[in-house]
Chain A
Amino acid sequence: MAGAPQTLFDKVWRSHEVSPESADRPAVLYVDLHLIHEVTSPQAFAVLRERGLNVRRPERTLATMDHSTPTLTAQVFGGAPIALDAARRQVRELEANCAAFGVELLGLTHSDRGIVHIIGPELGLTQPGKTIVCGDSHTSTHGALGALAFGIGTTEVGHVLATQCLLQRKPRTLAVNLSGELRAGVTAKDLILAVIGRLGVSGGTGHVIEYRGDTIRALDMDERMTVCNMSIEAGARAGMIAPDETTYRYLEGRPRAPRGEAWERALEAWRALPTDALARFDREVELDAAAVEPMITYGTNPGMVIPIGGAIPQRCGDAAFSQALAYMGLAPGEPIRDRPVNVVFLGSCTNARLSDLRSAARLLRGRRIAPGLRMLVVPGSQQVKRQAEAEGLDRVFLEAGAEWRESGCSMCLGMNGDVVGRGEYAVSTSNRNFEGRQGSGARTLLASPLTAAACAVRGRVTDPRELM
């Protein structure tokens, strides 16, 4: 069919328009998959109850619990109550809501439970060309498989539950073109931190990013998910990567992926999704991936990032910058290397997939974490946990002196009992270094799993290449 050349985003958007936007009305956009969790759904179910509405398509909705849930085995599987009353209430309420409205729930003790953005792809529910939403800004993760996936607020969670649709204005498109081979010791996390450093924390606002180029094509699915996950940290609601053989190999045979003839039909449709050769983006940005170093943040947003061997920049007369450094207890012009570290957190929807754990374990094998340092390793899902244990990774972490937990968001956001103490420095593989994100007064340095492991061994900010 001849037509104007389209981007991957255009194709997914257009095929989900129940009605297109006009000057006075936003588009009505159909949602293929709605993921819900315990923190941003209770008030949405309350609206359904107030108005006497049902969930329109329960089979397109999947619930799990991850944000406020504990990661200590006894609190998850019994033996000890959930320490936080409020979390216990949210867990019970999600169970009751799912039962009342007929929504499938991967509950606290379910073997497929995990961080919502890890289990979607893992189960094969996240597929190219789908529209996927969730009341969580890191929903952008699912774009790694060629889906249009973005975070929504709780009112919109209610809209999707009741109508399977959202009112949306069409965003603009931004191509981030990445070329060159990543150096040894440089990971997908370093790549996306470098991209955010370039775009700034609002550089992607109003846009959907498509990550393109030979660097992206060479990444495996776990790495692509790390890249798309942090799109929101550049202000973009969604990040996408065109599906290719890597995507199809990843999906084939997953429990909820299409099978047999349905798989063949799906493949045919997916192969038509990549951006057409002559399609235009509203904006394009280029980055030489071969020049990217291991990166680490020094401030209170993910755009405040430098190569690990670099010095903290100086920005005279910028009050917010000075406030950020004061919060972090760091000074302009100082190197970040060798700064003492109190806590290392290996986890989150950004970096808690099996390959992340393998990467950190490779560096930790036969080593111990520094005396006095606390390291928490939190697999992204119960499935990742079982796979890691089958490979003996749990023993590597435990023998190194780290804690090995049940899956969940854990220390990424300090609302489930796992927190970093006031004034402490945490090197974290998560996605946000905002003030207080990991606990009141906590100071977060974002880095890759490899860098986090190196920092754990030395007890100081360390370039992982020194230990490889």
Chain B
Amino acid sequence: MPLEPFTVLTSRTVVLPGANIDTDQIIPARFLTTTTRAGLGRHLFADWRYRPDGTARSDFVLNRPEAHGCRILVAGRNFGCGSSREHAPWALADYGFRAVISTELADIFSSNCLKNGLLPVTVDEPTSAWLIEHPGAQVTLDVHACTLTLPHGAAVPFPLEAFARHCLLRGLDELRGLDELDYLLERRNEIETFERRA
């Protein structure tokens, strides 16, 4: 699946302030019966976005007009905890998000995001608190510099694993497709040596 290179992203934010938003909220298990990755965006936060009869809940943030076109999700601490379902980042990316910002992101979720061109960003408490208090703020994420720039101009650094950063910046070339799988496939000789030794 080709992915665009990820260098700089400027967008308004959508805020879900609660802590510990788990993968079952991001996408309930009943939508995991698909055998493809496509089209999961319509099930994103399904039980918060829709009433049992399928109508939209107007009080949920993603259903408000100002959420339209926002590419950055700001969430409370420990977003993405729970299951290993990659359907969670698939749903977020399919909906249109390209980054998630929190003070803490669950390990497997964070790893899954990076494999789908979704940037997991962890920031300090004061930055997170400011973002949560200012929904809709226009911010810029720079993958090269690993900084988050707030509207008042402050650039906050965020950690990003070096190889994941490299892959995000390269994107996936449709012909060559340099990604983690190619990198592993190129290690064939080392893997064979390891297998002989083991």
Contacts and interface: CB of A to CB of B under 8 A. Distances in A.
Given A25-B163, A67-B32, A434-B25, A43 B37 contact: yes
Interface in B155-184: 161-163, 166, 177, 180-181, 183-184
A274 to B, nearest CB: 21
Contacts of B142: none
A47 B172 CA distance: 14
A151 B108 contact: yes
Nearest to B83: A137
A30 B81 contact: no
Nearest to A419: B30
A43 B162 contact: no
B115 interface: yes
A206 B108 CA distance: 10
B32 A68 contact: yes
Given A19-B190, A415-B29, A159 B19 contact: no
A18 B20 contact: no
Nearest to B113: A153
Given A84-B33, A151-B84, A153-B115, A23 B52 contact: no
Given A89-B35, A136-B83, A169-B161, A18 B187 contact: yes
A202 B109 CA distance: 13
A235 B20 CA distance: 11
B88 to A, nearest CB: 9
B34 interface: yes
A171 B82 CA distance: 18
Given A18-B191, A413-B29, A136 B84 contact: yes
Given A153-B86, A156-B115, A235-B81, A43 B35 contact: yes
A24 B169 CA distance: 14
A320 B76 contact: yes
Contacts of A441: 47, 52
A135 B180 CA distance: 17
A26 B167 CA distance: 12
Contacts of A206: 107
B191 A164 contact: yes
Contacts of B36: 42-43, 46
Contacts of A434: 22, 24-25, 82
B164 to A, nearest CB: 8
Contact of B78 (A25, A42, A201): A201
A298 to B, nearest CB: 15
B33 A39 contact: yes
Contacts of A325: none
A313 to B, nearest CB: 15
Interface in B103-127: 104, 106-108, 111-112, 115-116
A437 B116 CA distance: 25
Contacts of B76: 320
B17 interface: yes
Interface string B7-34: 0000000000111101011001110111
- Of all A-B residue pairs in the complex, the 3 with the closest CB atoms, nearest first, are A86-B33, A151-B84, A42-B35
Interface of B: 17-20, 22, 24-25, 28-30, 32-37, 47, 52, 76-78, 81-86, 89, 104, 106-108, 111-112, 115-116, 161-163, 166, 177, 180-181, 183-185, 187-188, 190-191, 194-195, 198
Given A155-B112, A320-B19, A440-B30, 5 more contacts: A89-B35, A137-B84, A153-B108, A163-B184, A167-B184
